[in-house]
Structure 1
């Protein structure tokens, strides 16, 4: 079986990789079945280790035998004998591809076998999931396989403290949610002693639900904030905006991603706040406007306006008006967010769940809270941030798996230089996907969908209904209840019941209404959790999926469809679409469709279906453009962040800080040494001084960049694009950051008291935040199925 190194190298990882080669290698693995079946556990491990090379240039030298050994180990440890398709998936991920495997094909085991392959090479592996529940489940489930090969493992969760995290990160294979791992990277950027770091860098990232993590959330900034208060919106602005009239005081773009203040609207705000100009710093009274508030309200508003006019400049008040408009007219409760326990909770549109740690950029978050009459939260100071895309860039090698990789292949290639390999299902798919049923209006669409669900329900066939948002899921459930059809509802309001609802969704007669099904990590088994009625449900036709409205991405449609027809089971799907759907309004903006209506407003012409497909492709193209544009902004910030990180690492790991500060103030340095203070104490004192100012300047720089992003359209000059102007201003500001940090550190060193206990920064008023917290900024205007989430520079400044 040896000697397949040449074959392995020939496989490559290009987008056109020949899957026949993968199948050939897997078929070769079958030849070792008898040999391995008779081998002891220790012999299987030795055989697997003989297939790889470790050291500076680790590699797999005998792929067929390695796969055979891992297959044998899986059967002995977790009681599952991997299918050939799972070995093919493992093989392609060991090459460095993202593999597309259908729902129910066993991606969890495939990922664990890949981790074994990399782990045996001596590479530390992070197996990245979409949430901590799945990380813990997979670690426990696949743990025996990793134990078999002597690979230590563990899962990171929210409950773990620094010591526990430090121990887990030191192991061979670590399971963790992408946000948890990202926040650990950020927290490690606050340490002043290297020993306090919790994260050990890894060599490989294996990413589950790769398209969701690497595309849908790629540009979501993970933020570490401190307890210094930030400016809150002026109190009267929300009231003024609520009283504005569309097409008089403001207009909304056709794709409902942007709202624009008109001249009349600007005057309305100026009169309401009692200021001279919304575009300047003045606050003197102007001529009255018949629509403006009365004098007392205007006086009160003027005080609010004055308090809002901070050192950030005249653009601050205008920005507050703009975000209030966005919050009032583009963000919809139960579509983009819910209000729970007196707080605004964002909805992750790609998964249909509450995004527990997400918030919008502080101004928009506060504006939504004000809109809902809630207490406006204190935004605090951003200490550091990193996008998911930049986080994944920390790994020298990446691979992944998902059920819908092909539709994301352009993004995976453009932003990660990764290719996609499609793995055929173990059993041929029997799902029947009916052509879309298209209607003129949403009302006609919903009525037809409910009629269809009621009709299918009479047969006893289980039904999964996929909706675009919470409000829609509840409307459909209410309509079905009115027709005597009981159903389970799975959305962001009751995600705690997710596992129980999904487990029974395949039982005969069950109707489940759900928002997005991506990343739920649980298969719908025919016949219920224990599959006791499997054959009966098969006879009924299997799971029937009904989609109400297409999503903006074909991937999300396919994720919903893919819940039916698991492992060769029968199944079916049909989507109900209307010309009023968001994807049609966005992708078909400016285009006209002439078609004849049939019964109930149905449009059955072939050209209608072609038009719907066209609209979705246009919408997906817009998403790619937005991703590319936003990436340009974030890439510069990340490049600057890497420079600061390198500087920070040098200060942490050397005596650079002491050398610089002691050279600056030779007299004080000599006096401290003559007092007998140990050199390691002096080194650490200098280190803490330098890091304090470096961290403070980086935080200030991030605040400045945020300000530029909010107002770049006001500052960009005619001959330069907003992105060029952003680059010019941010580079100019960054050039002074290090010098300013060093100057302030030198001044502090000369003034601060340093004893054998170290440097007393507090006595100098140099306090670090008393508390820190983490969250994710929803910075993607199309991340919600409604498509109107704003606050992204990409949407505003394309």
Structure 2
């Protein structure tokens, strides 16, 4: 690491220069607050607008003072010096790192107000509907003081309600809702149907989660089509296959394949000659592999839960149900078949966009998070964003203990229970961060057997999360939670009302325990940051075993020989070095996956820009009619009696229908190509190069095919004063569309899970 000290020093010095300037401006602003307090609301708003005239902030100190006065007056919140400093860094377009509990919500609202006063429309990007709605209402009095409008967009709003909300100056919305509205707007056939108004600024909360961890998650718009699952016979046959005999799981836990013996067994039981024959490889083998993936790699209560007869995926990064998330259709329906559920409707993909593509549509992107520094490289590489670290308002008093490392998972889990028992006996509140639902429930059951009452927060009950988190700092409280990233509620010592604060402070504050290291240090730090907010005392401690996934996968090319103590604990320095090494390897693996996926996605993202421009041109001009009339002049002449507006609208609908259909076909084809690219790669050509070659060739054909098909429809479809009768020709758009997020990395983020199954971890 020493070799790179010069780099980090250079990065730090640049950031420090920026922060020194910001600190100076904040100090100047604080001298103005008393004077500005004498102004009424209207005068204060006028003064702020003067500072932001001409589309830029000219007097930042006065502007900050105006914001501070309004925040105190309308919200009862006086911004700390560091909060005002953070506002300035956001307005400069940085990603700011602020510790948990330092007041990011107010900072975001103040910065959004600054952007809006300079004439920019702002999307404040949240991680869920609850936070979007809560923060918009909470910050509304501040925003409206300056004559600006604010609204939230959540999943339950109608198209008209969304349209109205997007007309505001500042819009709070979950990232997935913003993306889905972009996709739906790309299916319209007239401008009046547009819902979203483009924004100038994306101010992203939990920026590292949205911009890095989930950047390549595809958002999908689909048209209904019955899902195709493995047949009952295939599911039944695969359910009886034996690990290490009929199939094997890859070392990384992400792949599974039949052995020769397993293939022969499947062939025998299905009554076919060969799974790999031409007639079976594209149908039967695909379904067998999907059923095998569902059986061996996707585990109930770790990767998904069953709720009221419905399969619900668990977002590994947040430890909660991902309401709008699906695996690709074949895998989704394979798991449903495995669980004996009714196979859900699949859907023809109409359009898709990754979160990274979505964010790159904004001219200005900035953000806030508690763990930005570790993501500096990715933020710079993919978004050209800089990180500014904002000091804490009060010094950190939390004690971060050395990890406790054990030889086996069983020994580690016994130690976790004992430590919780010891802390609970003193009355100190304890928050335990687990990695999956099964683990959280097993731990809670083990503690309750000891007479310890436990609040459990996991994917099965996250609607109660605000109440459970608010109570987690209360005296004698034990809270067991899956991932704490993006929970959005601060943990106050002494409970939600702080009534027992002094008693909890005397006991050492909130103790945070991690049941394993995560695959990235950022997630460890997000959990750690729940303790020690605003100068509170606290404790953080992680437990690790050599059987944990992060150690097994990160250390598979290394070896460690050390003698454990009688309780299985390992305390040698080289043990701690080895654990750190394993985590760095896991982080590297995730980065490699990200880099490779980005390469595959980037070309499609570039092609989407071309499609978007073509679509906008067809929507906003008469080009559709001009092109069709030029290609089929006789048919155009036959329509002279049809009103000009109807002719243009009909041509537009025809051209857009076939453009959208061709794009959907292209996405489906390239998805198939990507799945089989290692088989398609020829000679010594790299798979990514072959993928790009196919994508470029097919995209050229897409454009021509869309026009040719539109001309053919123009020649045959009935067109009158009401437009083109597409339905009568079997060319109707899907009667129903729906949205979901594709979880194409179902094993990412697992911690203590055992691929072959899990049960009674803490007994």
State the TM-score, normalized to the length of structure 1.
Answer: 0.91
- Match of 1:190, SS? coil
- Match of 2:285, SS? helix
Does structure 1 conserve the Cα–Cα contact (< 8 Å) formed by 2:646 and 2:722?
yes
Is 1:205 the equivalent of 2:202? Answer: yes
- Match of 2:676, SS? helix
Aligned partner (choices 364, 367, 384) of residue 351 of structure 2: 384
Q: Which runs of 5 or more structure 2 residues have no equivalent in the other structure?
A: 1-10, 756-763
CA 1:787–1:505 in structure 2 vs 1: closer, same or farther (change >3 Å)? Answer: closer
Does structure 1 conserve the Cα–Cα contact (< 8 Å) formed by 2:227 and 2:343?
no
Q: 1:602 maps to what in 2?
A: 569
How far off its partner does 1:375 sit? 1.6
Aligned partner (choices 724, 730, 733) of residue 768 of structure 1: 733
Q: 2:445 maps to what in 1?
A: 478
Q: 2:257 maps to what in 1?
A: 260
Query: Which of 545-554 and 660-669 deviates more?
Result: 660-669
Correspondence list, 1:543-622, <5 A? 543-622=510-589
- Match of 1:484, SS? coil
CA 1:16–1:367 in structure 2 vs 1: closer, same or farther (change >3 Å)? Answer: farther
CA 1:482–1:12 in structure 2 vs 1: closer, same or farther (change >3 Å)? Answer: closer
Aligned partner (choices 260, 265, 269) of residue 266 of structure 2: 269
Q: 2:713 maps to what in 1?
A: 748
How far off its partner does 1:262 sit? 2.7
Query: Which of 715-724 and 579-588 deviates more?
Result: 715-724
Aligned partner (choices 387, 405, 419) of residue 420 of structure 1: 387
Q: 1:360 maps to what in 2?
A: 327
Q: 1:453 maps to what in 2?
A: 420
Q: 1:302 maps to what in 2?
A: none
Residues 183-214 of structure 1, C-alpha deviations (whole Å, 9 max, x = no match): 10010011000111000000000000111111
- Match of 2:275, SS? coil
Correspondence list, 1:256-335, <5 A? 256-282=253-279, 314-335=281-302
Is 1:171 the equivalent of 2:168? Answer: yes
- Match of 2:226, SS? coil
The CA distance in 2 between the partners of 1:14 and 1:376, in whole Å, is 55
Question: Aligned-residue CA RMSD in angstroms?
Answer: 1.8
Correspondence list, 1:179-198, <5 A? 179-198=176-195
CA 1:615–1:494 in structure 2 vs 1: closer, same or farther (change >3 Å)? Answer: same
Q: 2:700 maps to what in 1?
A: 735
CA 1:61–1:775 in structure 2 vs 1: closer, same or farther (change >3 Å)? Answer: same
How far off its partner does 1:696 sit? 1.0
The CA distance in 1 between the partners of 2:406 and 2:297, in whole Å, is 25
Q: Which runs of 5 or more structure 1 residues have no equivalent in the other structure?
A: 1-10, 283-308, 791-798
Is 1:123 the equivalent of 2:141? Answer: no
How far off its partner does 1:377 sit? 1.7
The CA distance in 1 between the partners of 2:233 and 2:166, in whole Å, is 49
Q: 1:525 maps to what in 2?
A: 492
The CA distance in 2 between the partners of 1:399 and 1:43, in whole Å, is 30
How far off its partner does 1:15 sit? 5.5
- Match of 2:157, SS? coil
Is 1:38 the equivalent of 2:3? Answer: no
Residues 368-403 of structure 1, C-alpha deviations (whole Å, 9 max, x = no match): 111112122231201111011111111010000011
The CA distance in 2 between the partners of 1:583 and 1:404, in whole Å, is 20
Q: 2:311 maps to what in 1?
A: 344
Does structure 2 conserve the Cα–Cα contact (< 8 Å) formed by 1:36 and 1:69?
yes
- Match of 1:245, SS? coil
Does structure 1 conserve the Cα–Cα contact (< 8 Å) formed by 2:517 and 2:751?
no
Q: 1:505 maps to what in 2?
A: 472
The CA distance in 2 between the partners of 1:274 and 1:384, in whole Å, is 39
Aligned residues: 745
Is 1:635 the equivalent of 2:602? Answer: yes
Q: 1:27 maps to what in 2?
A: 27
Does structure 2 conserve the Cα–Cα contact (< 8 Å) formed by 1:583 and 1:619?
yes
How far off its partner does 1:233 sit? 2.7
Is 1:138 the equivalent of 2:135? Answer: yes
CA 1:598–1:374 in structure 2 vs 1: closer, same or farther (change >3 Å)? Answer: same
Q: 1:301 maps to what in 2?
A: none
Is 1:684 the equivalent of 2:649? Answer: yes
Q: 1:3 maps to what in 2?
A: none
Q: 2:64 maps to what in 1?
A: 67
How far off its partner does 1:782 sit? 5.2
How far off its partner does 1:12 sit? 13
The CA distance in 1 between the partners of 2:650 and 2:97, in whole Å, is 52
CA 1:360–1:182 in structure 2 vs 1: closer, same or farther (change >3 Å)? Answer: same
State the TM-score, normalized to the length of structure 2.
Answer: 0.95
The CA distance in 2 between the partners of 1:23 and 1:756, in whole Å, is 65
- Match of 1:704, SS? helix
Q: 2:760 maps to what in 1?
A: none
The CA distance in 2 between the partners of 1:17 and 1:744, in whole Å, is 59
Does structure 2 conserve the Cα–Cα contact (< 8 Å) formed by 1:780 and 1:789?
no
The CA distance in 1 between the partners of 2:273 and 2:732, in whole Å, is 39
Aligned partner (choices 614, 635, 638) of residue 668 of structure 1: 635
Q: 2:95 maps to what in 1?
A: 98
How far off its partner does 1:789 sit? 12
Does structure 2 conserve the Cα–Cα contact (< 8 Å) formed by 1:128 and 1:175?
yes
Q: 2:3 maps to what in 1?
A: none
Query: Which of 551-560 and 18-27 deviates more?
Result: 18-27
Q: 1:295 maps to what in 2?
A: none
Q: 2:52 maps to what in 1?
A: 52
CA 1:14–1:175 in structure 2 vs 1: closer, same or farther (change >3 Å)? Answer: farther
Does structure 2 conserve the Cα–Cα contact (< 8 Å) formed by 1:781 and 1:789?
no
Does structure 1 conserve the Cα–Cα contact (< 8 Å) formed by 2:225 and 2:347?
yes
Does structure 2 conserve the Cα–Cα contact (< 8 Å) formed by 1:119 and 1:172?
yes
CA 1:350–1:539 in structure 2 vs 1: closer, same or farther (change >3 Å)? Answer: same
